[in-house]
Structure 1
Amino acid sequence: MSCETAAPDRTLPNQVVIHQLSRRLELRWADGYSISLGHGQLRSACKCAWCEGRRRRTPNEATAIDPDVQLTAITSIGDVGLQLHFSDGHDRGIYPWTYLQSLAT
């Protein structure tokens, strides 16, 4: 008889913390796993239709994101992910939990 250890369920974090001073978003799971993502990194990684369209229209140009952009609020989209609100007024993107985890690797 073999004994397999199941992989921890990291679908939904149990804590989401905005660190304004360091400009980081921290996600923590019950098993102690955590990730920390920069506000600018998150803003640059937006996958909304507007941001994706802009990247397609100007693929060779760096998408200028204000280096001082801050995450001002978050809205939970339940078990799907988070909607992030930024100081530049952008709040269209939905960031699925698995996408957020992939940004940390």
Structure 2
Amino acid sequence: MGETLPGWIWVIYYLFLTVTLTTTFFCLWKKKLVVLCLINLLFVVLVPVVSLVSSMSRTEVNEFEFLVQSLSQGAFWAIIVFIGYLVMFIWWVMFFRIEEETR
């Protein structure tokens, strides 16, 4: 097993996933952005699992470097994870737009 990222990065990462999951459920409850919520929900659960399982085979690099390396080599799992992060980013942009419009 290779090196790993510092603990504080993992705290921020899992806090981000938790807040994203919470706001997704909130919007589902309010019936806003339902389709995007369901897609986001899938990726919020899928991305950490796929990343964890795929990163177990890494050596000599941390998880982020391994993701970038695998993405540059066109690894299917890395593309899925990248798309997942992209969906989460789009989710947050849309969430803030909806919240801004309701004010």
Q: Tell me the TM-score normalized by structure 1.
A: 0.22
1 or 2 for the larger relative contact order (CA 8 Å, sep ≥6)?
Answer: 2
More strand by share: 1
